Structure formats: C-alpha cells, structure tokens
Chain A
C-alpha cells in the first residue's frame, strides 16, 4: 500500500514542479516554469488547437502528421502544419537554440507526441489520481480519499470548453466526465457517515454534471438521513422521480424505492 502512497506523492510533486503545466478543465491555460503564458504568445488559434489536439490524443502513440492535418485543417498543407508546430514549440521553449530537437513535442519521422514525463496536464493527472483511488478503495480508504480529493480539486469544469463543437475533443471530454462522476460518487459514499454534509455536497456536484445520475440521488438521501433531515431526503427522492420521468419516462430503481420506503417508515 505504501507503493500507492508513494505514487500519489510522486504525482503531486510533479504537479508542483513540472516545467510545463497545462490546465484544460474549465479553461485552457499554460504555465512555463511557474509563469503563466500570455494568450498573445500563441499568435494563432491553430497553434493552440494543435497543442490541444496533441493533448486530446496524448495516449495514442505517435500521431501521424496527415491524420493531425486532416482533423485540424480544411485544406491544410505542410506549411500550415509546420507553422503551427513551430508556434507550439516556440511557446513551450522560447529559448531553444535553432537546429536542436524540441524537448516536449517528440517527433518520430512524420509522427508526433507529447512527452508526458516532462509536461504536466490536469486531465492526465486526474485520471492517474482516480486510478490510485480505485486501486486503494476497500483496502486503504485513507489513500483512496486523498486520491479522489486530488482528482476533484483538478476538476474546474468541462474539458476544453471552447472546443465543445470539435469532434476530436469529445472523446476526452466524455472520458473525464465519467471519471469525475465516479470520483464524486465514490468519495461521497466513503464520507457518508464520517462527513454527511460533504457527502451530500459531492453528490450534488455529480448531479450538476448529470442530473439523471441516480446513484447520486441515493447518496444524497442517505446523507440527509444521517443528518436526521428526513424531509430533505424525501424531497431528494421526489426530485429523482421527476427527473427520471422527464428524461427517460422511467421509475427509479428498486434500490432507490427501497431506500425511500425505509426513510418513510422512520418516525
């Protein structure tokens, strides 16, 4: 278990010390050696898009130039790509001497990828924290709690909000949304008896992402029950019924119905 704790600390240290840090959740920002890069430095939107595309596909090894161009340009040619790539490298390492290999964007022939050992990216870190949380869950809930908390801290909003209409960004957005929904509900469950108010808040955060997430309603009901707030628990159930009817035309699950029966039976 100390292995997981070590990993957690290692990721946190990297988050604090990485020479390049990138935020993609809620908004897009980049820090170079702790200094925030001004938007003017990007010069062109295509430069930003190219880096965001590389981030979205960071786990696919070596992205072919043609494929990148096909996604980002209507009728782009090699020159467009070179200009954008030059722009990315210029932002990431403005002092790099000419004719030397870039440090962060690794090239292999005509394929490109980001060096994740050197660049810290919030979505990459969030995923790693959730993985540690899931691994520790049940055996060491203290580590699990810390890992989920770190993941939740990173979630400042949806992935690349200004690219929601670009299909190359949607896969990552969906993946992160599922990870964070899982982190909210699992941490809410862990904290149910220990800190019901926080548990309720976490369940509410999950519902703000997806109002049909039934597990979150159940957690909220349980949280209110622990707090002794029976009317609010009943109100939460009613909200769940309304939303599920409106969105799917279905009833809550038997598990949720059972819970409300138990709550109603309490004098």
Chain B
C-alpha cells in the first residue's frame, strides 16, 4: 500500500486583488498564485481555470504514480475515474491530460492546429501546414512567441491588403 504522504496533494492558493480605474470605468483584477506543497512547484494565474489545470495535472501525476505497476488500460481507467471529480471543467483539462498520457505528440498537434487556424486567416497562399513536430522540446513561451509573431504577421498582411485595395481603387 502506498504511503499516506504519497496519496496526498495539498495546494496553497493566494489571491491578490487589484481594483483600479481605466477609461473611466472601475475594474477589478485577481492575481493568483497556486503552490503544490509536496512538490514545491508553483504557478501564477489570472484565469482561475489555469489554477484548476495546475491542480488537475498534479493529481493526475499522483494517480499515475500510484498506478504505475498496472497495465496501461487499467491505468487509463483509474485515471478517468480520478478525473471524474473535475466534471465541471471536464471539457478541457482532463481531455488534454488523457490525450497527453496516451499520446504526448497529440497535445503538440493540438497547438499545431491552433496555429494553423490562425494562419488560415491569412489566406490560402500561405496556408501550408507549418511543420513543428521537431519542436517537441520547445517551451510554452516558445509557442507563445510563435503565436505572437504570427499575429503580428497577420496584422502586417492586413495593412498590406488595405494598401493594395486603396491603390486598386485609385486606379
């Protein structure tokens, strides 16, 4: 039987409230930090769903560790049950975890598709699929940078299109 300590995950969640005026409107912002006590990891968040995902990830790791001697089918079944309590946000987090467990590449493909979705807005001429499989070791911030660059590129193309339109109209 696993030790009690190995079956426990504790989380410390801190919320820091910021109330401010912007454009004549009162706004409130919650800056959060969640810490996993036993592992020592922590994450800052603005969207509480990120904190929930963090907890889900840690709990899934705990279940995985406790079921490592079982077959992959049994492990998957237990994990599904373990994640059942997260039904309220079952649409996103657990699916990603399950997908990652089954196929780590799949999560990467999801990001790839997301980027692809953004590119498709730019027009068919550059709509060719970007191959990023070799970036398996890239960090989340690398993907953020790529997404940001693509957004900027999209803006530039919009501006160019607008210029071309105005030139065409003049003609």
Residue numbers in B under 8 Å from A74 (CB-CB): 3-5
B161: Cβ under 8 A from any A Cβ: no
Q: A164-B40, A167-B8, A170-B12 are in contact. Are A253 and B46 (CB under 8 A)?
A: no
B80, CB-defined interface residue at 8 Å: no
B96 to chain A, nearest CB (A): 19
B44 with A254: CB separation less than 8 A: no
Chain B residues with CB below 8 A from A247, complex form: 44
A250, B46: Cβ atoms closer than 8 Å: yes
Interface string of B6-27 (1 = CB under 8 A from A): 0010101010001011100000
Q: Is the CB of B3 within 8 A of A170?
A: no
Q: Which residues from A are CB-within-8-Å of B70?
A: none
CB closest chain-A residue, reference B29? A250
Of B3, B12, B18, B141, the residue contacting A253 (CB under 8 A) is B18
Q: Binary interface profile of A, 170-185, with partner B (CB < 8 Å = 1, else 0)? A: 1100100010000000
A249: chain B residues within 8 A (beta carbon) = 46
CB contact between B46 and one of A171, A214, A248, A255 (< 8 Å): that residue: A248
A167 & B10 in contact (Cβ 8 Å cutoff): yes
In the complex, are the beta carbons of A254 and B46 less than 8 A apart? no
A residues near B12, Cβ cutoff 8 Å = 170-171, 174
Q: Shortest beta-carbon distance, B99 to chain A, in Å? A: 24
Report the minimal beta-carbon distance from A22 to chain B, rounded to whole angstroms: 23
Specify which of A164, A166, A212, A253 is in contact with B20 (CB 8 Å cutoff).
A253
Contact check: which of B3, B39, B44 meets A248 at CB < 8 Å?
B44
In the complex formed, the residue of B with least CB distance to A256 is B20
Q: How large is the interface on B (under 10, 10 to 19, 20 to 34, 35 or more residues)?
A: 20 to 34
Contact partners of A178 in chain B: CB under 8 A? 14
* Least CB distance, B102 to chain A, in whole angstroms: 29
Q: Interface 1/0s, chain A 147-182, versus B by CB < 8 A?
A: 000000000000000001111001100100010000
Query: Considering the chains assembled together, what is the distance between the CA atoms of A250 and B45 in angstroms?
Result: 10
Given A74-B4, A212-B44, A248-B31, CB of A254 within 8 Å of CB of B21 = yes
Across-interface contacts of B45 in A (CB, < 8 A): 248
Q: A167-B37, A212-B31, A254-B20 are in contact. Are A174 and B5 (CB under 8 A)?
A: no
Residues of chain B within 8 A (CB-CB) of A250 are 29, 31, 46
* B residues near A254, Cβ cutoff 8 Å: 20-22
**Chain A hits for B114, CB < 8 A:** none
Instruction: Chain B residues near A214: list those with CB within 8 A.
Output: 18
Structural contact, B38 and A167, CB atoms closer than 8 A:
yes
User: Complex Cα distance A191/B44, Å?
Assistant: 30
Q: Produce 1/0 per residue, B25-37, CB < 8 A to A.
A: 0000101010101
Whole-angstrom distance between the Cβ of A195 and the nearest chain B Cβ: 27
**In whole angstroms, what is the CA distance A164 to B33 when docked?**
16
Interchain nearest-CB distance for A196 vs B (Å): 25
Neighbouring A residues of B22 by C-beta, 8 Å: 254
Expressed in whole angstroms, the minimum distance between the Cβ of B46 and any Cβ of chain A is 5
Interface pairs (19), CB distance under 8 Å: A74-B3, A164-B37, A164-B40, A166-B37, A167-B8, A167-B37, A170-B10, A174-B14, A212-B33, A248-B44, A248-B45, A249-B46, A250-B29, A253-B18, A253-B20, A253-B29, A254-B20, A254-B21, A254-B22
13 extra interface residue pairs, beta carbon distance < 8 Å, beyond A165-B39, A170-B35: A74-B3, A74-B4, A164-B37, A164-B40, A165-B37, A165-B38, A165-B40, A212-B31, A248-B31, A248-B44, A248-B46, A249-B46, A253-B18
List of 4 A-B pairs having minimum Cβ-Cβ separation, nearest first: A167-B10, A247-B44, A167-B37, A170-B37
